[in-house]
């Protein structure tokens, strides 16, 4: 991938929200005929190398999104240069990204749902301590947000 291409989705541990959004984006971008690289990571590294949370895997699979190949990783310095957009699931992770990001790349950072036009300052809530319905709610937000990204990309 060349410098400043594609979208990186960022949450805290990279096992619940961002891998689900990544899977939705990968599938829906392909359906829309968009060749946009996507990936995900977490600001924290304690889950690095682990699979996505089984509840995220199940929520995605129920709607045809495959998370089986996902392995968690931590946000790296290279990511700020490599990705065109780095989209956080919530304000806390966005602030952490801003603290780590070189000044010249701050324009690449944003909130996923805000950037995609879903809502000003709206966040994807962390479902980790919740139940199946919380993961389904994240999936619904992922689909709305990805639809907004598709519109954003196609409008150019």
Residue 70 located in a structural domain: yes
Percent helix, strand and coil across the chain, each to the nearest 5: 45, 10, 40
Residue 1 located in a structural domain: no
The number of distinct structural domains making up the chain is 1
User: How are strands ordered across the β-sheet holding 109-111?
Assistant: 38-42, 7-11, 85-88, 109-111
Residue 102 located in a structural domain: yes
Residue 94 located in a structural domain: yes
pLDDT for 18-65, tens place per residue?
999 999 999 999 999 999 999 999 999 999 999 999 999 999 999 999
- The boundaries of the domain holding residue 151 are 7-155
Sign of the C-alpha dihedral, residues 33, 41, 7, 88? positive
Global pTM?
0.97
Provide, rounded to the nearest whole percent, the portion of the chain with pLDDT above 70.
Answer: 99
Residue 2 located in a structural domain: no
Q: Which residues are catalytic?
A: 11, 17, 126
Residue 19 located in a structural domain: yes
CATH at 12: 3.40.50.2300
């Amino acid at each position: 991938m060349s410098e400043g291409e594609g979208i990186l989705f960022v949450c805290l541990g990279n096992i619940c929200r961002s891998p689900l959004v990544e899977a939705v984006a990968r599938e829906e971008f392909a359906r829309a005929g968009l060749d946009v690289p996507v990936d995900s990571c977490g600001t924290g590294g304690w889950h690095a190398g682990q699979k996505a949370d089984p509840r995220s895997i199940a929520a995605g699979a129920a709607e045809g999104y495959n998370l089986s190949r996902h392995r968690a990783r931590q946000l790296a310095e290279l990511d700020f240069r490599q990705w065109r957009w780095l989209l956080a699931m919530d304000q806390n992770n966005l602030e952490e990204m801003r603290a780590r990001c070189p000044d010249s790349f701050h324009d690449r950072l944003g909130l996923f749902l805000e950037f995609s036009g879903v809502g000003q300052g709206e966040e994807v809530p962390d479902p980790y301590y919740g139940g199946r319905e919380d993961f389904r709610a994240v999936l619904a937000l992922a689909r709305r947000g990805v639809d907004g990204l598709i519109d954003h990309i196609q409008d150019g």
